[in-house]
């Protein structure tokens, strides 16, 4: 069996559109020691491919991190297949809040150095020595105490469109930058309860272990992240303390949690929480754009990109040659982040955060 995709993206999208059954978007992770990630990767691909599963899965010696789309009629079979691996037996499978099933159209299973890039090189760090789990009810109770510090361990563009009440932003574009920044920002909060959260739990779990590694004592993290919290709050009739939209790393780019729109279009300033990528192939900047600006700029982030969009294809290709787009995020410049960090420190000192 060929253990990778060989069909074009266009054909895969056509097949997805032609499906007559319902799909579910599910995410899961597990920190565990995997002796042979490549062999495990091949087993996963073969088993999930047979069940028509799409998605993005990372495998490393430290565990597995997955976001997948599965046929609803294969839900039990997928669960049984995953639970057959001893270290994944009984793991939580987070169902997406906005479960339209159109999150992926191809299966990709990749071996990585780590399932979450963290920049940690200290061999004494132990991911299994992590903070205490909080379920939705316990999270609401503990965060109702004004002495509790709530920390968002997601990227700034995720925080921008949605976050929990009173949550502190660690203003960065990468988790590896956030870890040392969180230690620095929370130094004078060591005696207070610290609650960390992220989208599905994988980043805040590692972050809680990192704070404990750095001498913090009273550290908690939200079990299952925003996704599990939202589902459980709805099931149990609990107040949902999350404001805005939850950013997700798939084709949806977000799932609606509640009616709140707490962010603004990056071009005109109107209320907006719709992420998009600039349609100029030499840019693909991730930014917020309202419907009016999407029409005005034809899906581009700027007049310059809109101008390039209308150039002949050969000129566009010449323009793109040699451009290193990197991890393009709107307003990503480090000179913006540093003043924001200082502002946050000042607000925390004044009791405003």
The pLDDT tens digits for 274-326 are 999 999 988 888 899 999 999 999 999 988 889 989 999 888 887 777 555 54
In Å, what is the CA distance from 214 to each residue of 107, 120, 201, 218, 234? Answer: 38, 12, 20, 12, 36
Global confidence as pTM: 0.78
Q: Is residue 171 part of a domain?
A: yes
Number of Cα atoms under 13 Å in the Cβ half of residue 89: 4
Do residues 139 and 189 share a domain?
Answer: yes
pLDDT surpassing 80 at residue 338: no
Rounded to 5 degrees, what are φ and ψ at 100?
A: -85, -10
CATH code where residue 39 lies: 3.30.70.100
Q: Which of 198, 204, 265, 283 is catalytic?
A: 198
Q: Is residue 328 part of a domain?
A: no
Q: How far is CA 83 from the centre of its chain?
A: 24
- 231 exposed, middle or buried (CB, 10 Å; 0-12, 13-18, 19+)? middle
Do residues 47 and 79 share a domain?
Answer: yes
- 123 Cβ neighbours under 8 A, 6+ residues apart: none
Q: Is residue 122 part of a domain?
A: no
Do residues 105 and 195 share a domain?
Answer: no
CATH code where residue 164 lies: 3.40.250.10
Total count of residues recorded for the chain: 353
pLDDT score at 324: 53
pLDDT score at 339: 46
Do residues 106 and 140 share a domain?
Answer: no
Among the residues of the chain, which ranges form H helices? 9-18, 37-50, 75-83, 136-143, 156-161, 175-185, 202-213, 225-236, 291-296, 303-309, 313-320, 334-349
State the CB neighbour count (10 A cutoff) for residue 132: 14
pLDDT tens-digit profile of 114-171? Answer: 999 899 999 999 998 999 999 999 999 999 999 999 999 999 889 999 999 999 999 8
pLDDT tens-digit profile of 183-201? Answer: 999 999 998 999 999 998 9
Task: Give Dmax (Cα) for the chain.
Answer: 61
Q: Is residue 293 part of a domain?
A: yes
Q: Is residue 347 part of a domain?
A: no
Q: Residue 140 in contact with residue 222, Cβ under 8 Å?
A: no
In Å, what is the CA distance from 114 to each residue of 28, 45, 57, 245? Answer: 15, 18, 12, 28
Q: Rg of the Cα trace of the chain?
A: 21
For the ranges 63-77, 95-109, 289-303, the lowest mean pLDDT is seen at 95-109
pLDDT tens-digit profile of 207-266? Answer: 999 999 999 999 999 999 999 999 999 999 999 999 999 988 766 777 888 889 999 999
String of DSSP letters for 243-259: EEEE--SSTT--EE-SS
Do residues 97 and 47 share a domain?
Answer: yes
3-state secondary structure of 58: strand
Q: Which residues on adjacent β-strands are paired with residue 169?
A: 152
Residue with tokens 């297949």: 81
3-state secondary structure of 198: coil
Q: Is residue 348 part of a domain?
A: no
pLDDT tens-digit profile of 246-258? Answer: 988 766 777 888 8
Do residues 232 and 286 share a domain?
Answer: no
Do residues 136 and 198 share a domain?
Answer: yes
Do residues 229 and 288 share a domain?
Answer: no
In Å, what is the CA distance from 123 to each residue of 9, 119, 127, 185, 311? Answer: 41, 12, 11, 24, 52
State the CB neighbour count (10 A cutoff) for residue 312: 8
The C-alpha atoms of residue 200 and residue 265 are separated, in whole angstroms, by 26
Q: Residue 341 in contact with residue 180, Cβ under 8 Å?
A: no
Average pLDDT, the chain: 88
Q: How many domains does the chain have?
A: 3
Q: Is residue 205 part of a domain?
A: yes
198 as an active site residue: the answer is: yes
Do residues 217 and 186 share a domain?
Answer: yes
Do residues 158 and 212 share a domain?
Answer: yes
For residue 20, the enclosing domain spans 9-111
Do residues 106 and 137 share a domain?
Answer: no
Do residues 71 and 150 share a domain?
Answer: no
Q: Is residue 93 part of a domain?
A: yes
Long-range CB contacts (within 8 A, 24+) of 156-159: 156/329, 156/337, 157/247, 157/275, 157/286, 157/329, 157/330, 158/199, 158/247
């Amino acid at each position: 069996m060929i253990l990778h995709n060989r069909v074009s993206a266009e054909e895969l999208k056509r097949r997805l559109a032609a499906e007559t059954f319902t799909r579910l978007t599910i995410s899961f992770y597990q920190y565990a020691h995997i002796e042979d990630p490549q062999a495990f990767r091949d087993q996963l691909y073969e088993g999930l491919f047979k069940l028509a599963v799409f998605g993005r899965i990372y495998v490393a010696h430290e565990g597995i991190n997955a976001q997948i789309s599965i046929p609803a009629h294969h839900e039990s079979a997928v669960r049984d297949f995953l639970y057959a691996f001893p270290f994944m037996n009984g793991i939580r499978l987070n169902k997406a809040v906005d479960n339209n099933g159109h999150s992926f159209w191809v299966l990709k299973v990749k071996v990585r150095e780590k399932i979450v890039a963290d920049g940690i090189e200290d061999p004494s760090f132990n991911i299994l020595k992590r903070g205490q789990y909080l379920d939705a009810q316990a999270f609401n109770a503990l965060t109702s105490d004004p002495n509790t510090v709530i920390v968002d361990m997601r990227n700034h563009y995720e925080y921008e469109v949605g976050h929990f009440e009173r949550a502190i932003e660690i203003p960065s574009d990468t988790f590896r930058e956030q870890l040392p920044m969180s230690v620095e920002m929370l130094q004078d909060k060591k005696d207070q309860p610290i609650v960390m959260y992220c989208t599905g739990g994988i980043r805040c779990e590692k972050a809680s272990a990192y704070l404990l590694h750095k001498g913090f004592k009273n550290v908690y993290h939200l079990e299952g992240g925003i996704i599990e919290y939202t589902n459980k709050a709805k099931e149990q009739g609990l107040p949902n303390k999350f404001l805005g939209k939850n950013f997700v790393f798939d084709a949806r780019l977000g799932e609606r949690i509640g009616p709140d729109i707490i962010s603004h279009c990056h071009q005109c300033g109107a209320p907006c929480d719709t992420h998009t990528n600039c349609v100029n192939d030499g840019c693909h900047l991730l930014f917020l754009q309202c419907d009016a600006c999407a029409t005005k700029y034809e899906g581009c982030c700027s007049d310059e990109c809109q101008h390039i969009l209308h150039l002949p294809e050969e000129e566009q290709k010449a323009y793109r040659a040699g451009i290193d787009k990197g991890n393009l995020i709107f307003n990503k410049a480090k000179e913006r982040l540093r003043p924001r960090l200082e502002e946050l420190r000042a607000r925390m000192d004044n009791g405003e955060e």
